Amino acid sequence: MKFLELTGYGNNFKHIMSLKSISDISFETNYTHIVLNNGTSVNVIENENEIIQMIYHLEGFITNKDAASFFETYQHAGSDAWDVSTHDDELPF
């Protein structure tokens, strides 16, 4: 399992949360609000950049409209965005 270690806002208690148990994250002005699948919510001091880096480190994926338009461009062009064989006729060794 993949976990995030986060620090509670106000009390500085450590919280270790399963990435799978998180249903919603909102980034407020002074804290980050996390809602878990069971309805429990926790406010933590880690900011948007720190949490996103942790999720990427755990090989999580966050998509947005920019990423979606990138892949849409490749689809309309008739290309596969994941195709690594383009211009790869020979091995480099």
What is residue 7's predicted lDDT score, i.e. its pLDDT?
98
Extract the residue ranges of the chain whose pLDDT is less than 50.
none
Report how far Cα 26 is from the mean position of its chain's Cα atoms: 13
Note whether residue 26 is domain-resident.
yes
DSSP secondary structure, 12-81, as one string: --EEEEEGGGEEEEEE-SSSEEEEETTS-EEEES--HHHHHHHHHHTT-----HHHHHHHHHHHHTT--T
- The total domain count for the chain is 1
What is residue 64's predicted lDDT score, i.e. its pLDDT?
81
Cα–Cα distance, 44 to 46 (Å, whole number): 6
Which domain covers residue 58, as residue numbers?
Answer: 3-76
What is residue 61's predicted lDDT score, i.e. its pLDDT?
83
What is residue 73's predicted lDDT score, i.e. its pLDDT?
62
Note whether residue 29 is domain-resident.
yes
Q: What is the pLDDT of residues 53-63, one digit of tens each?
A: 999 999 988 88
Note whether residue 49 is domain-resident.
yes
